[in-house]
Amino acid sequence: MTTPTAAPIGQEEIELYGNVLSEIKFRAEMAEKKLRDVTEIVELESAALQLRKSIELVALGTLAANRQVVHQVSTALHKKDWDDARKILRNINPNYWPTPFTAKIGPDGKRALEAFVGPFLSEKEAPTAYGFLSNLLHANNPFAKPSAIDQKDVDRVRDISLKLRNLLGLHTAELGNREHVVVASMDTPRDGRVLVQLWNEVSRETRTVDSWQSTQLRMDESK
């Protein structure tokens, strides 16, 4: 397979990625509302659907600079063939999966990003979580006696929801390759909206706010 060449990252690509994050945020928040007090199986299924769609969008979102292969990856995901989807994504960008961070004020007064400590949805776990959510959506025997909600299923869906939130809360994403990195926040303190910024100087070792480009694009999650 020939590796597509990533297009230069500009305002359009940043907006596209931000729009994907806004949709994920909308869906994830819908899932969280359904999971607060699960009394009906349909509430659990609704949450599972929104989280499954969100995981698909995480995988597709970093293709903002390689939109010519979105259909290939999307088709593989619809077939629940994560191995095929992952092969396509890694061929384009081995680091396609977002990396979670936390912000901290350093001794010099500058805000820096540090590796996130805690549970988050990793690329390795994503296929298993996706498969579990998909299984919850399959129709059961309509002639059998309705079964009670399994609390283990509820707990597992809540765990996936938390890990998805932790993954994306504050993260970096490579849109095509190491030279095309953005920093994104899903819930900015000032207005609670998605914020996406282009990284000016890429460094995996030292990532400070001063290296962000000044252009900031806020995405309205209601789109």
Extents of the domains making up the chain: 11-141+148-219
**Among residues of the chain, what percentage have pLDDT more than 90?**
38
Tokens 């309705």 -> residue? 146
Q: Specify the higher pLDDT residue, 78 or 33.
A: 33
pLDDT, tens digit (0-9, with 9 covering 90-100), for 200-219:
543 444 444 333 333 334 44
Question: Taking the C-alpha atoms of 166, 152, 149 and 124 in order, what is their torsion angle to the nearest 10 degrees?
Answer: 50
How many Cβ atoms from other residues are within 10 Å of residue 17's Cβ?
25
**Among residues of the chain, what percentage have pLDDT more than 70?**
78
Residue 2: pLDDT over 70: no
Q: Determine the pLDDT at residue 167.
A: 97
| Whole-number Å distance between alpha carbons of 17 and 108 | 32
Burial class of residue 202 (count of CB atoms within 10 Å of its CB; 0-12, 13-18, 19+): middle
Q: Determine the pLDDT at residue 79.
A: 74
| pTM for this entry | 0.81
Question: Model confidence at 151, in pLDDT bands (50, 70, 90)?
Answer: very high
Q: One-letter amino acid identity for 40?
A: E
146 contact partners, CB below 8 Å, separation of at least 6: 41
| Whole-number Å distance between alpha carbons of 91 and 68 | 14
Lowest-confidence range among 4-8, 96-100, 133-137, 195-199? 4-8
- Angle, in degrees to the nearest 10, between helices 41-61 and 151-168: 30
Could you give the C-alpha distances from 96 to 43, 182, 189, 191, 215, in angstroms and in order?
32, 12, 27, 28, 23
Closest CA to 59 of 24, 29, 25: 24
Q: Determine the pLDDT at residue 9.
A: 64
The torsion angles phi and psi of 27, rounded to 5 degrees, stand at: -70, -40
Q: Specify the higher pLDDT residue, 121 or 197.
A: 121
Q: Determine the pLDDT at residue 85.
A: 83
What is the mean pLDDT of the segment spanning 37-57? Answer: 94
Tokens, residue 105: 């004020």
Q: Specify the higher pLDDT residue, 181 or 222.
A: 181
Closest CA to 18 of 222, 206, 218: 218
Residue 1: pLDDT over 60: no
Could you give the C-alpha distances from 89 to 67, 71, 72, 133, in angstroms and in order?
12, 12, 10, 22
pLDDT, tens digit (0-9, with 9 covering 90-100), for 165-196:
999 999 999 876 556 788 899 987 677 788 88
The whole-chain average pLDDT of the chain stands at 79
38, containing H or E segment: none
Question: Model confidence at 34, in pLDDT bands (50, 70, 90)?
Answer: very high
Tokens, residue 156: 């597992």
